[in-house]
Amino acid sequence: MSPLRRCTRPACLRSAVATLTYVYADKTAVLGPLAVYAEPHSYDLCAEHAERLSAPKGWEVLRLQFDAAAAQAPSADDLEALADAVREAAHVSPPEEQTSTRRGGHLRVLGPQD
Q: Interface residues with Zn ion (CB under 5 A)?
A: 7, 9, 12, 14, 46, 49
Smallest gap from Cβ 64 to Zn ion, in A, equals: 18
User: Nearer Cβ to Zn ion, position 50 or 64?
Assistant: 50
Whole-number Cα distances in Å, 41 to 23, 25, 38, 69? 8, 12, 9, 25
By 3-state DSSP, what share of the chain in percent is helix, strand and coil, each rounded to 5? 30, 20, 50
User: Nearer Cβ to Zn ion, position 5 or 9?
Assistant: 9
Distance, CA of 33 to CA of 17 (rounded, Å): 7
User: Nearer Cβ to Zn ion, position 55 or 89?
Assistant: 55
User: Nearer Cβ to Zn ion, position 3 or 94?
Assistant: 3
Smallest gap from Cβ 99 to Zn ion, in A, equals: 41
CB atoms within 10 A of CB 64: 19
Query: Strands 28-33 and 18-23, how do they pair?
Result: antiparallel
Smallest gap from Cβ 15 to Zn ion, in A, equals: 9
Smallest gap from Cβ 10 to Zn ion, in A, equals: 9
